[in-house]
Structure 1
Amino acid sequence: MKGIFLTLFVGFLLFIGLFCMRRTKTLNDFFLGGRSIGPWLSAFAYGTTYFSAVIFIGYAGKVGWGFGLSTLWIVVGNTLVGSLLAWLVLAKRTRQMTVRLNTLTMPQFLEARYQAPGFKVFAAGVIFIFMIPYSASVFMGLSYLFERVFDIPYTVAAIAMAVLTAMYLITGGYRAVALTDVVQGTVMVFGVFTLLYYVLGAPQVGGIGQVVSKLQAIDPQFVAPAGPPGWLPIASLVLLTSLGTWGLPQMVQKFYAIKDEASIRPATIVSTLFALVITTGAYFTGSLSRLFFDEMPVDALTGQPNPDLLIPQIMITTLPEWAITLILLLVLSASMSTLASLVLVSSSAVTIDFIQGLNPKLSDGRKVGLMRFFCLVFIALSVILTLAKPTIILSLMAISWGTVAGTFLAPYVIGLYWSKATAKGAWISSLTGLTISIVFSFYVKLEAGLLPTIGVLAMLIPLLVLPLVSMVTEPLSDSHLKKVFGKSFPTKTRVAKNKKVEQV
């Protein structure tokens, strides 16, 4: 049964890729679907990019094991801040401003917004380098799951997933990703409800009414508001995984591509509900892991405790075969969309933001060909890192997420609303976030428990640096700001000698 469903799913992805290939003629088509993606496609694309194998396999299990029920604060943050507020605050302004500036990517937008030569190349380098460990973390999560559920060797699973991602993404581009996301998102929703049904019904849990008492019997801290580690670690995880999405190029891309402003409201609602369902399923299951294990499962290859095995082991011991197959498709669905978005954004950093800048006369066909080539390069580099297994999934995700969000959050978000933000303010704030994340991550020797806090500092400190620097540096011209902000740019007035108000 598992093999049949998996074959049908893979066949569907490849069919969609080939179907969309004939409509993918220009760079705009390949990267943004021609800016014609409707509300449902946009909402599911946002949600399935947000949540991947990392959350179901590594992240939710490890956090739930350490924090207990206080893990559910992440559900609140991801739903209200990472989804609802992200759409309300960013979507409309982002689409309007990127259309006015004729930009397709985050690096293009930042260079055009701040008239900052070199910013595009700098931003493209950050994206390409630090998206690789994020992508590798997704491949790792998938490979662990296939190894446990299908007995497919880790290496074989990683390479197979890479080939599948390359085949359906390179043929159809973003339009193929968006179309498959609706089906993938639907699978994820049904999978989450199935997972919760069997986990709550397992003898180790005994129903939702027994959760609090059983966790409390193990350790009262597991039902406390902040869990055993305390408020700072859980607050850091909430901020990193919620506010951090505001600065991630693969998330922001969904606002660029949406069809029109009327589509934003329904997309906001669907995306928020989707986040609530998916995060509840993942993190609530993770918070119950102490009920299933007295000690953390040990990796058979390394002989070391591995939190990435918690949820796969729960699935194997709790769910029937058909439900395991559905959950496998859930994780595969979430991961394929995330991988596709990461690969698209990273390859665009080289093609659109670097090569096109050096040779603006490239034809559309040549640009699309280069995008496809660098998609392959990015996937290959991610798989190499995946096979090396440098650290656990949580560390890989925290490093890349914190670094990229720390580099882009301040200049992007403040730049959407504050006309007095300057080029030097944007540069210094980005370099501040990048430096904090890299230097302190290596200073603590990539200690997984400290990486989320470092990522949060890398995001928040630049939000203070940018306005402070902007106040004492040269402002951008009014003519440029009028182009950037359009009608929302505040027009200066003066009183003429004839006492009539003239607009300058």
Structure 2
Amino acid sequence: MTGHSAVGWVDIVVILGYLLTTVYLGWLGYQRTRTGADYLVGGRSVHPIIMAVSYGATFISTAAIVGFGGVAGLFGMSLLWLTFLNIGVGILLAFTLLGEPTRRLGHHLGAHTFPELLGARYQSKGIQIFAGLLIFVFMPLYSAAVMTGGAVFAATQFDVDFEVALLVFALITAAYVIPGGLKAVMYTDTFQGLIMILAMAYLLLFAYTSLGGVSAAHQYLTGMADLVPAPLQAMGHQGWTAMPKFGWGATGYDLWWTVITAIILGVGIGVVAQPQLVVRFMTVRSRRELDRAVPIGAVFILFMTGTPFAVGSLSNAWFAQHGPLLKGQVVKEIDAERGHALVGLMKETSPGRWEPVINPKTNQPATAPMVVVAHQPAQDGQGAPVDLVSGRAPTVVYAKGDADQIIPTFINTALPRWFGLVFFLALLAAAMSTMSSQFHTIGTAAGRDLYERITGKHGTEPSVLAMRIAIVIGLLVSVSISYNVREEYVIARFTAIFFGLCAATFLPAYVGGLFWRRATRVGALASMTVGMLVSLFWLLLVKAKEASAIGLVQLVTGGKTSLLADYPNWPSVDPIIIALPLAMLTLILVSAVTKPSDPQHLRRCFPQYAAPQATTL
């Protein structure tokens, strides 16, 4: 593979400049962190532009750019519906409907974290501990996904070991989130968000101009529908510009249920219940700042999700038109008459000596992107590599389709060297902005919501030291997961799992606590329990991809990949479709038959509904 590997002095200078700027902003946040409120919610005085970009940069990570961008390379532009939901739900609905009530309730109750907000609203120490424990246990999955995306690209871009790249990511993030708190996180998020926007704008412009414009690019990609590999066609893939085949009761509809329930609904709805995002609403002074942040956040999300989803799909057309600068070896012949084959990547280690290119994530031989065009007939020839850049008649080549490799491969082969470095910094920014908030949330959940609530050792200001220690623990757990789990689709899968779990567990209690005064402590706790247990049951025993990877279902069923393996489509349905409605119903029914909250407490939570006080003239 003729990707960009050698690290030159210009690369080092640019990367050092980026890191020094990040360190300076982290130090600035540290200097302005004087109290526990500063550390937890930025002193509740953050500028709306900083809040909006920080919200978006926290939301968007390598999971969206590398993970879901790569999934778009496999499944097509149907993922753009996730961009629509991210803007409609994650920005417009979240900021206009949930943002002000969350900010107001957090201020009235003096809440600094999402679990503390729930616990204070329902006057329940147990709810706060439950929420904090779930965050501390499961958020490392999401952190590991983000780390993996950044580390894989760094390993590919600079030809370094995956483990080295992973260690660098972890150390850089720890360097500013541990001392600086949320102010440092939000300052660096804003800087990193600017880099991400510039990189995405250029990437989108390049993709369309290299394919002859928007109309020509989409027409060409539409015309490639017959090149969809057979396994994806069998799942219902109808081309990269078409929605998957819709229906129920046959395996030919599996892709629709995967794309719609797991990716679009799971992530699109789950975003409004993300603890690290909800706390952003409590960092501003008034509703005016929230309203001013909406257009900024919407444009940011449009660029940061729309671009990788579109480019991931268009990469198939680019590879087919231009042919990547790759050398490979036929692994499997698919259609001899049409010249279709699976090609493994090869590199020349010495004159006449070739070795497979190793995927740094899986430590297995790497395959080419989804669809490429070989300019020489695909023949094995006694193990000699197929030259994909000699000027012969084109031959279509299929590849295995490792989603996590599609975007890095496109960047390394299609774009100039300098952009590879800029894009690496954008990925570094995306990963670090998200990881910093994740670790901040992990630390505050363990330090404030668990340690302080369980031990009772807290005063007027939270123990920042305890939180910093908890962040280190969370960081070590996340690095361990990222180091040991190297399966395919790990980035998108871990992200979807965590988002869906948060939606099912937190969303009914969160929204009910904001708008429904009749929601009770018992109802909220029951709802959270049902949402979490149903989600975990579905992931462990029903959802085929996750259940088979975990392995418990094989022991229960004697080798099947799902409890419902004999019932088509059910193993492709995401837990959020089952767990979230059940959790909502539980909140409503249990709250209706249990003791209402204390009226005086409700007046404190909702002073806008309290009876006006009599005045004397």
- Determine the C-alpha separation between the residues in 2 that align with 1:266 and 1:297: 50
- Which structure 2 residues correspond to residues 416-495 of structure 1 after superposition, within 5 A? 416-444=514-542, 447=545, 453-488=574-609
Q: Contact 1:30–1:174 (CA<8 Å) still a contact in 2?
A: yes
- Which structure 2 residues correspond to residues 368-407 of structure 1 after superposition, within 5 A? 368-391=464-487, 392-407=490-505
Q: Contact 1:75–1:279 (CA<8 Å) still a contact in 2?
A: yes
Amino acid at match of 2:23: L
User: Bigger CA drift: 147-156 or 1-10?
Assistant: 1-10
Say if 2:321 is the partner of 1:321: no
Given candidates 220, 224, 228, the residue that maps to 1:218 is 224
Gaps of at least 5 residues in structure 1 are 493-500
Q: Contact 2:274–2:502 (CA<8 Å) still a contact in 1?
A: yes
- Determine the C-alpha separation between the residues in 2 that align with 1:79 and 1:2: 35
Report the equivalent of 2:44: 35
Task: For residue 347 of structure 1, report the CA deviation from its aligned partner.
Answer: 0.6
SS at match of 1:257: coil
Report the equivalent of 1:495: none
Report the equivalent of 2:364: 302
Given candidates 491, 500, 513, the residue that maps to 1:415 is 513
Report the equivalent of 1:498: none
Say if 2:101 is the partner of 1:101: no
SS at match of 1:399: helix
Q: Contact 1:48–1:338 (CA<8 Å) still a contact in 2?
A: yes
Report the equivalent of 2:274: 248
TM-score normalized by the length of structure 1: 0.91
Say if 2:192 is the partner of 1:71: no
The structure-2 alpha-carbon separation of the partners of 1:337 and 1:150, relative to structure 1 and needing over 3 Å to count, comes to same
Higher-strand-fraction structure = 2
- Determine the C-alpha separation between the residues in 1 that align with 2:507 and 2:74: 30
Report the equivalent of 1:234: 259
Q: Contact 2:448–2:462 (CA<8 Å) still a contact in 1?
A: no
Report the equivalent of 1:496: none
Task: For residue 28 of structure 1, report the CA deviation from its aligned partner.
Answer: 1.2
The structure-2 alpha-carbon separation of the partners of 1:363 and 1:429, relative to structure 1 and needing over 3 Å to count, comes to closer
Report the equivalent of 2:24: 15
Task: For residue 324 of structure 1, report the CA deviation from its aligned partner.
Answer: 1.4
- The runs of 4+ residues in structure 1 deviating greater than 4 Å are 228-231, 293-299, 363-366, 448-452
Report the equivalent of 2:68: 59
**Deviation per CA, 1:215-260, whole angstroms, max 9, x where unpaired?**
2222172255523556433332222222211111011010011232
Report the equivalent of 1:497: none
SS at match of 2:282: helix
Q: Contact 1:399–1:451 (CA<8 Å) still a contact in 2?
A: no
Say if 2:195 is the partner of 1:195: no
Report the equivalent of 1:339: 435
Task: For residue 151 of structure 1, report the CA deviation from its aligned partner.
Answer: 1.1
**Deviation per CA, 1:25-68, whole angstroms, max 9, x where unpaired?**
222111111111110110011000110011111122113412x1
- Which structure 2 residues correspond to residues 18-167 of structure 1 after superposition, within 5 A? 18-66=27-75, 68-167=76-175
Amino acid at match of 2:196: M
Higher-helix-fraction structure = 1
Task: For residue 435 of structure 1, report the CA deviation from its aligned partner.
Answer: 1.0
**Deviation per CA, 1:449-485, whole angstroms, max 9, x where unpaired?**
9677223433343223211222222211222211111
Say if 2:301 is the partner of 1:275: yes
Amino acid at match of 2:580: M
Task: For residue 189 of structure 1, report the CA deviation from its aligned partner.
Answer: 0.8
- Determine the C-alpha separation between the residues in 1 that align with 2:239 and 2:343: 16
Q: Contact 1:395–1:446 (CA<8 Å) still a contact in 2?
A: no
- Determine the C-alpha separation between the residues in 2 that align with 1:10 and 1:452: 42
Report the equivalent of 1:263: 289
**Which structure exhibits the higher relative contact order, with contacts defined as CA atoms closer than 8 Å and separated by 6 or more residues?**
1
**Deviation per CA, 1:308-357, whole angstroms, max 9, x where unpaired?**
00000000111111111111111111111100111011111111112222
- Determine the C-alpha separation between the residues in 1 that align with 2:43 and 2:413: 46
Amino acid at match of 2:516: W
User: Bigger CA drift: 345-354 or 207-216?
Assistant: 207-216
- Determine the C-alpha separation between the residues in 1 that align with 2:73 and 2:294: 28
- Determine the C-alpha separation between the residues in 1 that align with 2:41 and 2:174: 18
Task: For residue 365 of structure 1, report the CA deviation from its aligned partner.
Answer: 8.0
- Determine the C-alpha separation between the residues in 2 that align with 1:256 and 1:458: 28
Which has more radius of gyration?
2
SS at match of 1:288: helix
- Determine the C-alpha separation between the residues in 2 that align with 1:216 and 1:99: 52
Task: For residue 72 of structure 1, report the CA deviation from its aligned partner.
Answer: 1.4
Amino acid at match of 1:40: I
- Determine the C-alpha separation between the residues in 1 that align with 2:255 and 2:545: 17
The structure-2 alpha-carbon separation of the partners of 1:180 and 1:130, relative to structure 1 and needing over 3 Å to count, comes to same
User: Bigger CA drift: 356-365 or 138-147?
Assistant: 356-365
SS at match of 2:159: coil
Gaps of at least 5 residues in structure 2 are 1-9, 227-237, 246-253, 321-339, 346-357, 367-399, 547-568
The structure-2 alpha-carbon separation of the partners of 1:348 and 1:29, relative to structure 1 and needing over 3 Å to count, comes to same
The structure-2 alpha-carbon separation of the partners of 1:336 and 1:104, relative to structure 1 and needing over 3 Å to count, comes to same
Amino acid at match of 2:138: F
- Determine the C-alpha separation between the residues in 2 that align with 1:452 and 1:399: 12
Task: For residue 408 of structure 1, report the CA deviation from its aligned partner.
Answer: 0.7
User: Bigger CA drift: 298-307 or 45-54?
Assistant: 298-307
